[in-house]
Structure 1
Amino acid sequence: MTIRWPDAVLRPQNVAFDIAPRSLAGPSSVSGITQVVSSDAGIWKATLGNIIIKSRNAVLAHRAISALLEGRLGTILVPLCRAYQPVPADSDALYEDVPHSDDALFDDDTGYVGTVIDVVAAAPAAVRAVSMTVTVNYAGDIEPGQHFSLGERLYRVRSFDADTGAMTFRPPLREAVADGDPLNFDDPVCLMRLASDDAMNLELALRRFGSPTVNFIEAV
């Protein structure tokens, strides 16, 4: 089972998710023209910056994740926040944490959370496709720049036609999509690994407080 970054315990102050293009360029000619050749198979890179560490739980969680990942060997699901997603109007209350039957929450003070946005593939799509047709059952406005995940793979909307359901996205599909597969706009995640073996190093002030920055790259 793939572990997930516990953003409720290790909350970053700065977050960046970007697609790193794969390009090659030759030297400039006398006229100043440069030829650039680029692949469409860019990979995700992410930075969780200035993570707030000021409690025992946060210190131990950071150390535990470091031990589980063992540098770049292991993989982890890195979630995005829900900001800027196509959340329907007046639906924020539907995302509130639901406790156990005895009104208790989990140890990190979170509860069960369901999905709200309902968007599914309207037709199959092949591996490396950069477009598909979707059916929007319940959602706000889907716009370029928003994110969704299929399984453990992350994608960014490039264009969307609300009349036809035609959507383009980047990067290309990592896995084939079947008719009816759900697009996760509520809680998009990306399967990643540490960008370097020492990315989880933790320096603590007074052995208690820290604000590390962790860099990831997509596991492909």
Structure 2
Amino acid sequence: MAIIDLPQSLSDRRSNENFWLHGQTVSAGVGLDGREQIMFAENRIWRGKLDLAHLFGGDILAARSVGTRLRGRANLLRLTFCNVGTVRYLGDLARFYAEANVRAEDVARGYIPFSDGAAFGDGSGFALPENDEPTAVVDAPKDASEIQIGGYIGRNATVGARFSINDFLYEVESNDSGEITFSPPLREAVSAGTLVKFSEPTFLVRLEADRGWEPFTQYGRLNRPMSVDVVEAFDR
């Protein structure tokens, strides 16, 4: 089994990120009193649709090659998520500070003063936010739904943001300064110091059907958009 990375040129052609947790609840139906008991067990997995806009030139060949190398459902596809809506560092420090609501004058002076503009006695102030990708602070066992994450990006992760650990995808349900509750539960145990990707989460998926990746080329016309159904990959 091989892992195929979606080329950046194709990732840039993605038109959306429709990935959701899907599970199944059980019910015996509505009782004589009109009430219904719903039973839930943690069986949710990620399912999604990878939509690529019109492809041109080399992108068509790249898409064709990805499908060939996937060997149907035999190999895995690694996707990178955009994760808009939470603080990220994507190589542009000025943009990172802007997303972190750090004023340009504070960046210029190299520190953040008190709200009234005052500094510490030695003339310094609060440090600027660090842009390093966060890491797990303590060990967390498999099936845990809480984890402690260090670093500015982790402490300020927005509810609903998604992150990845070892190419497994998770979604923030609550965040108390880095004490994060999330779904689904950890797919595998995590050790302290493990990288937690918020800026560009990565995720392994498998085609939902063997014939799921078939780019279509129309000569002399704009090529059709391409839509591929994928499902979370557990084995790796």
Asked if these proteins are the same fold (TM beyond 0.5), I'd say yes
Matched, 1:76 2:77: yes
Change (3 A) 1:160 1:129: same
Counterpart in the other structure of 1:145: 160
Give ranges in structure 1 of 5+ residues lacking alignment: 95-114
Partner Cα distance (2:186, 2:155) in 1: 24
Matches within 5 A, 1:11-160: 11-49=13-51, 51-87=52-88, 91=93, 116-137=131-152, 141-160=156-175
Displacement, 1:31? 2.9
Instruction: Give me the whole-angstrom Cα distance separating, in 1, the residues matched to 2:155 and 2:93.
Output: 10
CA shift digits 1:29-72 (9 cap, x unpaired): 233322222222311112122x1233221211111111111222
Query: 1:19 touches 1:43 (CA, 8 Å); kept in 2?
Result: yes
- State the distance in 2 between where 1:138 and 1:14 align: 24
Structure 1 position 129, deviation (Å): 0.5
Letter in 2 for 1:212: M
TM-score, normalised via structure 2 length: 0.74
Distance between the aligned counterparts of 2:9 and 2:54, measured in 1? 12
- 2:216 corresponds to which residue? 203
Give the 3-state SS of the residue equivalent to 2:34 in structure 1. Answer: coil
Compare CA radii of gyration and give the structure with the larger one. 2
1:33 and 1:195 map into 2 onto residues whose CA distance is 36
The aligned residue for residue 216 of structure 1 is 230
SS at match of 1:9: helix
- The sequence identity of aligned pairs, in percent, is 26
In structure 2, the partner of 1:166 is 179
C-alpha distance 130-23 of structure 1, shift in aligned 2 (>3 A): same
Higher helix share: 2
Seen in structure 2, the aligned counterparts of structure 1 residues 92 and 210 have a Cα distance that, compared at 3 Å, is: farther
> Relative to 1, partners in 2 of residues 1:159 and 1:215: Cα closer, same or farther, differing over 3 Å?
same
**Residues 27-36 or 12-21, more deviating:** 27-36
> d(CA) in 2 for partners of 1:176 and 1:159?
20
Larger mean CA deviation between 125-134 and 196-205 belongs to: 196-205
Amino acid of the structure 1 residue aligned with 2:7: P
Which one-letter code corresponds to 2:44 in the other structure?
Answer: G
| Aligned residues of 1:148 and 1:156 also touching (Cα < 8 A) | yes
Question: How far 1:76 sits from its partner (Å)?
Answer: 1.0
Residue pair 1:155, 1:171 contacting (<8 A) in 2 also: yes
Q: 1:207 to 1:76 in 2, by over 3 A?
A: farther
Q: State the Cα deviation string for residues 149-196 of structure 1 (Å, max 9, x = none).
A: 11111111111101xx31111111111111111211111011110111
Aligned residue type for 2:73: R
**Number of corresponding residues:** 196
In 2: Cα distance, 1:207 partner to 1:20 partner: 40
Contact kept, 8 Å, 2:4 with 2:75, in 1: the verdict is no
2:43 alignment partner AA = A
* Aligned AA (2:14): P
Computed over aligned residues only, the root mean square deviation of the Cα atoms, in angstroms, reads 2.4
More strand by share: 1
Q: Distance between the aligned counterparts of 1:138 and 1:145, measured in 2?
A: 14
Instruction: Specify the code of the residue in structure 1 equivalent to 2:156.
Output: D
Instruction: In structure 2, give the amino acid aligned to 1:213.
Output: S
